[in-house]
């Protein structure tokens, strides 16, 4: 039993070394190895105690056997004259002491083996469960920290993309406003009225595309063209504005657009009609909006006429509609981003659940394997105990056979002594010197 505990300190030293190593919690094999090493480290002290107890028991057995043998030898040496009964008494005492010593030692070995087997089973089970729980908690903390880092990086990247998109949208809006102001200034001076009409037509198509989709853009452009044609053929400023609004409203209604899209089309058509009227009515030598802005003074509203006020109001309505569209687009983008984020979180949670289920299955299989190993160790221990009991039974049988043989020899000795005593009166007495020598040598007279 002491020889079986020799390789255990090596496993314990490996467990002590594993405490200073870094464990990759994403690797199931490394976590399993760490659990096994720490479990063997917890069993190291138990193995040492058992080995020390077995060595101490062997030493006690050797000392008691040596003392009994020495005592028997001393008692035999003290015999000065041959006395068969005394010699047999000494032999019987030595045999009885040896038998009691062997039986007590074997019984103690059996008790200690049973106790060691039970302690080994309990220690292995408790240490493995404790180390497995610690490993699972550490792996869970590592996985949560990993998910937290991934979520933070994803949020930072998404915020950067949103910020870049917002900056780009602001730049585009600023460029569009600058181009619109320049074109308006040129058209007011009568330099390029067709450019403003084209831009407003394109703007009409863009606004209608936001409300009715990409498929309705060509129809809206056609409606804008009809409004432009109606505005150009109408007589007078009021007739141009009313005709453009009516034409745009009829085209939008004929295209089956939403009320908001129809309103945008009417406003844009009216704006184009007003710009056309202002461009035709403005004197060639008069100052325009662009000249006033460039020269450092603004033209009064009375000189521009009612068309400029209508145009300004229409542009304010268009800006309000653009702001509303931008808010709706931003809310839609936020809703889409939140939906994608929730979808990613749901997929991550499903993947984490699947991985946790796979890890649980692996740990369950490893626990079954370790339980099988523990059961095999217990079966081996029980087999060793059974062998010891069988060996003890054999020793008892051998001892009984030796005692029977001794009784047989004693009976023959008694028979021989009785026969010699029966023949002794017929034999003449030997001389005194011969009798003394015979007594000293311990031989029986023949």
Q: pLDDT averaged over the chain?
A: 70
Q: Summarize the confidence of residues 2-9 as an average pLDDT.
A: 36
Q: How do residues 362-393 score in pLDDT, each as one tens digit?
A: 888 888 888 888 888 888 888 888 888 888 88
The rounded distance, in Å, linking the Cα atoms of 124 and 129 is 8
More confident residue, 156 or 180: 156
Ramachandran angles phi, psi of 359, nearest 5°: -65, -40
Q: How do residues 140-178 score in pLDDT, each as one tens digit?
A: 888 899 899 998 998 998 899 989 988 988 888 888 888
Q: What pLDDT does 265 receive?
A: 52
DSSP letters along 231-277, please? HHHSSSHHHHHHHHHHHHHHHHHHHT--HHHHHHHHHHHHHHHHHHH
The rounded distance, in Å, linking the Cα atoms of 224 and 201 is 6
**How far apart, in Å, do the first and last CA atoms of the chain sit?**
55
Q: What pLDDT does 119 receive?
A: 85
Q: Summarize the confidence of residues 314-321 as an average pLDDT.
A: 71
The rounded distance, in Å, linking the Cα atoms of 344 and 367 is 34
Q: Summarize the confidence of residues 206-233 as an average pLDDT.
A: 44
∠ CA 428-430-433, nearest 5°, is 170
Q: What pLDDT does 201 receive?
A: 56
Look at residue 250 and tell me whether its pLDDT is greater than 60.
Answer: no
Residue 275 has a CB neighbour count (10 Å cut-off) of: 25
Look at residue 439 and tell me whether its pLDDT is greater than 60.
Answer: no
More confident residue, 426 or 74: 74
How is residue 340 written in tokens? Answer: 């994608």
pTM for the model stands at 0.30
Q: What's the half-sphere exposure (Cβ side, CA atoms, 13 Å) at 281?
A: 17
Q: Summarize the confidence of residues 397-404 as an average pLDDT.
A: 86
Q: Summarize the confidence of residues 411-415 as an average pLDDT.
A: 90
Q: What pLDDT does 70 receive?
A: 87
- The dihedral region occupied by 296, where left means phi > 0, alpha psi between -120 and 50, and beta the remainder, is left
Which range, of 10-14, 222-226, 242-246, 385-389, averages the lowest pLDDT?
A: 10-14
Q: What pLDDT does 27 receive?
A: 76
The rounded distance, in Å, linking the Cα atoms of 394 and 382 is 18
The rounded distance, in Å, linking the Cα atoms of 134 and 225 is 76
The rounded distance, in Å, linking the Cα atoms of 205 and 198 is 11
Which range, of 18-27, 99-108, 337-346, 370-379, averages the lowest pLDDT?
A: 18-27
The rounded distance, in Å, linking the Cα atoms of 115 and 313 is 100
Look at residue 258 and tell me whether its pLDDT is greater than 50.
Answer: no
Q: What pLDDT does 378 receive?
A: 83
How is residue 363 written in tokens? Answer: 């740990």
The rounded distance, in Å, linking the Cα atoms of 435 and 323 is 146
Confidence of residue 181 (pLDDT cuts 50, 70, 90): confident
Residue 164 has a CB neighbour count (10 Å cut-off) of: 10
The rounded distance, in Å, linking the Cα atoms of 411 and 414 is 5
Q: Summarize the confidence of residues 231-256 as an average pLDDT.
A: 44
Q: How do residues 296-314 score in pLDDT, each as one tens digit?
A: 444 444 444 455 566 666 6
The rounded distance, in Å, linking the Cα atoms of 113 and 12 is 21
Q: Are 274 and 310 in contact (CB under 8 A)?
A: yes
Look at residue 11 and tell me whether its pLDDT is greater than 80.
Answer: no
The CA distances from residue 173 to 91, 146, 183, 217, 326, in Å, are 120, 41, 15, 20, 11
The rounded distance, in Å, linking the Cα atoms of 302 and 316 is 19
Q: What pLDDT does 309 receive?
A: 62
Helix 84-188 × helix 28-77 angle, to 10°: 170
Q: What pLDDT does 152 receive?
A: 92
Q: Kindly provide the residue ranges of all beta strands, DSSP E only, lying in 21-113, ordered along the sequence.
A: none
Q: Are 243 and 161 in contact (CB under 8 A)?
A: no
Q: What is the dihedral of CA 310, 315, 321, 327, to 10 degrees?
A: -150
Q: What's the half-sphere exposure (Cβ side, CA atoms, 13 Å) at 77?
A: 6
Q: Summarize the confidence of residues 244-267 as an average pLDDT.
A: 47
Look at residue 103 and tell me whether its pLDDT is greater than 70.
Answer: yes
What contacts 75, CB < 8 A, 6 or more positions away? 90, 93
More confident residue, 231 or 388: 388
Q: Summarize the confidence of residues 390-404 as an average pLDDT.
A: 86
∠ CA 235-241-246, nearest 5°, is 105
Residue 315 has a CB neighbour count (10 Å cut-off) of: 15
∠ CA 409-414-418, nearest 5°, is 150
Q: Are 195 and 187 in contact (CB under 8 A)?
A: yes
Instruction: Map tokens 């917890």 to a residue.
Output: 42
Q: Are 282 and 258 in contact (CB under 8 A)?
A: no
Helices (H), ranges, 189-236: 193-212, 217-233
Q: Are 68 and 62 in contact (CB under 8 A)?
A: no
Sign of the C-alpha dihedral computed for residues 201, 203, 205 and 208 taken in this order: negative
Confidence of residue 336 (pLDDT cuts 50, 70, 90): confident
């Amino acid at each position: 039993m002491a020889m079986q505990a020799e390789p255990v300190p090596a496993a314990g030293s490996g467990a002590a070394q594993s405490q200073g190593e870094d464990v990759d919690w994403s690797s199931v094999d490394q976590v399993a190895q760490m659990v096994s090493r720490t479990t063997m480290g917890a069993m190291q002290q138990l193995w040492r105690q058992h080995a020390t107890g077995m060595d101490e028991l062997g030493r006690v057995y050797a000392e008691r056997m040596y003392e009994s043998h020495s005592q028997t030898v001393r008692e035999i040496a003290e015999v000065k004259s041959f006395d068969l009964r005394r010699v047999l008494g000494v032999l019987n005492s030595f045999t009885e002491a040896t038998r009691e010593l062997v039986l007590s030692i074997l019984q103690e070995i059996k008790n200690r083996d049973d106790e060691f087997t039970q302690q080994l089973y309990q220690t292995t089970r408790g240490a493995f469960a404790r180390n497995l729980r610690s490993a699972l908690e550490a792996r869970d903390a590592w996985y949560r920290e990993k998910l937290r880092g991934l979520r933070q990086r994803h949020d930072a990247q998404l915020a950067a993309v949103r910020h870049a998109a917002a900056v780009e949208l602001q730049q585009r809006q600023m460029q569009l406003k600058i181009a619109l102001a320049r074109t308006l200034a040129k058209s007011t001076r009568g330099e390029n009225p067709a450019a403003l009409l084209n831009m407003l037509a394109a703007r009409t198509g863009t606004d209608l595309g936001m409300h009715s989709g990409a498929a309705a853009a060509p129809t809206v452009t056609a409606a804008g063209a009809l409004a432009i044609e109606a505005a150009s053929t109408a007589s007078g400023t009021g007739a141009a504005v009313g005709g453009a609004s009516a034409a745009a409203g009829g085209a939008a209604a004929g295209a089956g657009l939403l009320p908001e899209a129809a309103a945008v089309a009417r406003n844009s058509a009216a704006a184009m009609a007003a710009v056309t009227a202002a461009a035709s009515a403005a004197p060639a030598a008069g100052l325009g909006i662009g000249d006033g802005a460039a020269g450092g003074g603004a033209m009064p509203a009375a000189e521009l006429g009612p068309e400029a006020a209508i145009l300004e109001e229409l542009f304010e309505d268009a800006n309000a509609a653009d702001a509303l569209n931008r808010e709706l687009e931003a809310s839609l983008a936020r809703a889409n981003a939140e939906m994608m984020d929730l979808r990613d979180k749901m997929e991550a949670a499903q993947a984490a659940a699947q991985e946790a289920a796979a890890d649980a299955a692996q740990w369950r299989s490893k626990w079954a394997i370790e339980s099988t190993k523990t059961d095999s160790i217990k079966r081996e221990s029980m087999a060793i105990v059974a062998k010891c009991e069988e060996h003890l039974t054999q020793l008892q049988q051998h001892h009984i056979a030796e005692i029977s043989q001794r009784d047989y020899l004693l009976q023959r000795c008694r028979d021989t002594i009785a026969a010699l005593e029966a023949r002794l009166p017929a034999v003449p007495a030997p001389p005194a010197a011969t009798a003394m020598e015979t007594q000293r040598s311990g031989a029986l007279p023949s």
